[in-house]
Chain A
Amino acid sequence: MIPPSFDYEAPASLEEAIAILGKNPEAKILAGGQSLIALMKLRLASPAVLVDINRIEGLGYIKEEDGWLRIGAMTRESDLDTSDLVREKYPLLADTTRVIADPLVRNLSTLGGNLAHADPANDHPATMLAYGAELVATGPKGERIIPVGDFFTGPFETSLAQDEILTEIRIPSPNGSSGGAYQKLERKVGDFATAAVAAQVKLGEKGVVEQVGIGLTNVGLTPIKATAAEESLQGKEANEAAISEAAQLASEAAEPEADPRGSVEFKRALVKTLTHRAIKTAVGRAQGGK
């Protein structure tokens, strides 16, 4: 399959890239290309100009600074997977990256692309909702911080302007007894989720849940933050009854559609089970387990 014709630009700086995007309303950013090129080959996307940001230096990094884990938007899944920092301190992110696509696709796909693509089936969006991440967009006027809750505006739609580039993802560094987990059901390696659930918790004294974030993947037109489930768990001891109630509320927040991966009823039941497992694993990790 041959994509439609386009002009190709590979600027060496962010400023140049932003200027090209600003001048061409039909331009699109090329990051890992693992979603965009597929869409172009199927002629579901036909950008007039591709702005390849792979040749801009300094957009791929993973570092802790000022209470945040800062990840450059061009960081590849394969880099997240092999990062000791991510593995040791950010188990929710480590779980998530491991179940995305296959090793060859992961060598190219970027965290920024996964979020900016805003496919409700993508895995990182729910994880970033659970973490309460902040996204840094760089445009002609400089940087702007977008709370992840304001980022996903519809299927394949975000609050980024045409001439803005997602440059950094910031995850609050965990403190105290914190833990997280991602639970995904997929039919085979590399498949998108039938459903998946991200959970991040912080425990206070006596095991009481002080903070909790829960995000749902591929059971709605956008990733869903399960706020009722979060509120029900907050301030409670994370025992079986409390986790079950939160899992029930999360499944009620899901808005799945029937497709070859399953019926509406199946997916709702699945969200309940996966939420239960995700919270339980997150709590176990917050208590120092694996």
Chain B
Amino acid sequence: MSNHHIRVTVNGDVQEADVDARLLLVHFIREDLNLTGTHIGCDTSHCGACTVLVNGTAIKSCTYFAVQADGAEVSTVEGLAQNGDLHPIQEGFREMHGLQCGFCTPGMMIASIALLEQNPNPTEDEIRWGISGNLCRCTGYINIVKAVQYAAEKMQE
């Protein structure tokens, strides 16, 4: 067992903590920082409910140790809205009914943001591929695709 002092910038705030090496990033985010918007679904790197950005790259935080994020910038769903204004992707999910129970939504939005960052004007196929690491048990994905298209348009304005 080993303890490590880590310094991670989460949604712009610097967070310092002493963590056990085996602490998963998702547990650090949810339990130490109380940011419970990042969900745990499968806990086996299949569903994407735990998706966050680490230095701008979308990863599954249930399969990543908190200590690996030492020095990094992490973004979670809580950081999307700025001063009460929804991020275009959040607006897209609301306007296009991109969610039902909402469990997959934070991960879906983070994965979509990473996709739009790389490819601001994706085709439907590219959107479906971009969110293929995120499972939704409710919507059938159609409205999620529309939500991402909405955000893509909005972000290009």
Contact = CB atoms under 8 A, between A and B. Distances in A.
B58 A103 contact: yes
B21 A5 contact: yes
Given A5-B20, A8-B21, A104 B65 contact: no
Interface string A10-23: 10000000000000
Interface in B89-118: 111, 115
Contacts of A1: 43-44
A102 interface: yes
B78 to A, nearest CB: 19
A104 B22 contact: no
Contacts of B43: 1, 41
B133 A104 contact: yes
A110 B156 CA distance: 33
Contacts of B68: 30, 33, 52, 54
Interface string B51-73: 10000011110011101101000
Contact of B57 (A30, A102, A107, A190): A107
A8 B48 contact: no
A208 to B, nearest CB: 38
Contacts of A102: 48, 132-133
B146 interface: no
B48 A104 contact: yes
Interface string A190-206: 10000000000000000
Interface of B: 1-2, 4, 20-22, 24, 43-46, 48, 51, 57-60, 63-65, 67-68, 70, 111, 115, 129-130, 132-134
